[in-house]
Amino acid sequence: MAEINRRTLVQLLKLPEHLYCADCGAEGPKWASYNIGIFICTECAACHRNLGSHISKVKSVFMDNWDLAQVQMMKDMGNDKAKEKYQVHVPLCYKRPCPTDVQVLKEQWIQAKYLRQEFILPEKPIYLKGFMEGYLWKRGKENEKFHLRKFVLNESDDSLRYYVKENKEPKLVMKVSELNAVFCPMKVDHANAMQITFVKDGTTRNIFVYADDGKDIVNWYMAIRSAKLNQMQIAFPESDPNEVAKHLTPEFLKEGWLRKKGPRSGDTYRLRWLTLDNRRLMYLTNPLDPYPKGEIFIGYKENGFSVDKYILDVKQVGFGFILETPERSFIFSSDSEEEQKEWIEVLQKIMNQPLTVQDKNTAAIIVQKRHTFSSQFHALKV
């Protein structure tokens, strides 16, 4: 009987709705929650176990024994019906996790669906209310310590503020519509960490925060996305909301350590952390630096931008590539040929895309900042 039940489950796995994990979309799920009636991947199965067996009862399709009643539950429900039940009111701003997303996003998505059942009833969760306040641990700009700070998001004036002292003026005010937020557990070495980036005085500013509870950091992330979506729908009323939602908090296209050569012929290579945020290529001494040492705007290929392999000096170890801009050339070196190829491909992909209006605004800010700095440096030399 056990073998017959397993064969039935294997046949169920071949249905189109079961080719992918019900929670993150990973290909080839091999686990199931039989009381919920869904097939899931290994990572999501671990999240389901953390819910407790009173919420989700997890079994392996191939390693565990199944009785007839459990198999029947899988046949009666399945991934599609479960989606109709548990995801009927998912907000447009909510980022549904994909296989490569961070663990906290997957965990909170699963908890929201099955534990809190947030999306079954059309009640507004806290992140949709246009106003949110609470405390996050924020990394100091001048040191490496994290301090508990009060944050306030107010959609009505497009602001995200944080306070050092509650009865004082905010330490910093950011425009929600102009910032980006990405999870960064590896950088901060905390599962619930997030990086907030925005442009201040022509330069990117990085703020690193984390919450003790995964639910809190995901709520802040979704509150930022909700506010941005509403602002963008006002600014661009003719745009498709579903398309707008895809670009609310874009992931960095690529990050990693490279060696960068200085601008003069005799300059040496220095180790730098590079972050590619859409068309902004930033290089930093430390991934957690509040400001980059420099920024390069990646423009359109027909406007003098290109990237290609570069033969390094005999003394320099690594795999080089050169980034050409109308103003100057930038030479980088990676530790592996694969890394070199990945950087060249992602930069070429950006250069092949014509600039949008937003891209042109970004270019103007970065170029203006660079020209201002150059003028000041020239005045000092004179």
Q: How confident is the model at residue 369 (pLDDT cuts 50, 70, 90)?
A: low
Please choose, from the candidates 75, 104, 55, 53, the residue with its C-alpha nearest in 3D space to the C-alpha of residue 8: 75
Per mean pLDDT, which of 13-27, 191-205, 352-366 is the most reliable?
13-27
DSSP assignments along 338-377, one per residue: HHHHHHHHHHHHHHTSPPPHHHHHHHHHHHHHHHHHHHHH
Q: How confident is the model at residue 189 (pLDDT cuts 50, 70, 90)?
A: very high
Q: What confidence score (pLDDT) does residue 34 get? A: 96
Length of the chain: 382
Q: What confidence score (pLDDT) does residue 357 get? A: 83
Please give the domain boundaries of the chain with CATH numbers for all domains. 2-115 (1.10.220.150), 126-245 (2.30.29.30), 254-381 (2.30.29.30)
Range in 71-75, 265-269, 368-372 with the lowest mean pLDDT: 368-372
CA 41, CA 87: separation in Å to the nearest integer?
A: 18
Which bin fits 280, alpha (ψ -120 to 50), beta or left (φ > 0)? Answer: beta
Q: Which residues contact 246 (CB under 8 A, 6 or more apart)?
A: none
Q: What confidence score (pLDDT) does residue 235 get? A: 85
CA 39, CA 44: separation in Å to the nearest integer?
A: 10
Q: How confident is the model at residue 373 (pLDDT cuts 50, 70, 90)?
A: very low
Give CA 249 to chain center in angstroms: 7
Distances (CA, A) of 252 to 183, 241, 262: 10, 22, 24
Going across the sheet that includes 38-40, the strands are 38-40, 31-33, 58-60
Q: What confidence score (pLDDT) does residue 375 get? A: 40
Q: Are 205 and 136 in contact (CB under 8 A)?
A: no
* pLDDT over 90 (residue 236): no
CB environment 21-60: b (16+ within 10 A), e (fewer): bbbbbbeebebbbbbbbbbbbebbbbbbeebeeebbbbbe
Helix (H, G, I), strand (E, B) or coil at 274: strand
Indicate the pTM of the whole model: 0.91
Q: What confidence score (pLDDT) does residue 367 get? A: 61
Average pLDDT along the chain: 92
Q: What confidence score (pLDDT) does residue 360 get? A: 86
Residue 116 φ/ψ, nearest 5 degrees:
-90, -20
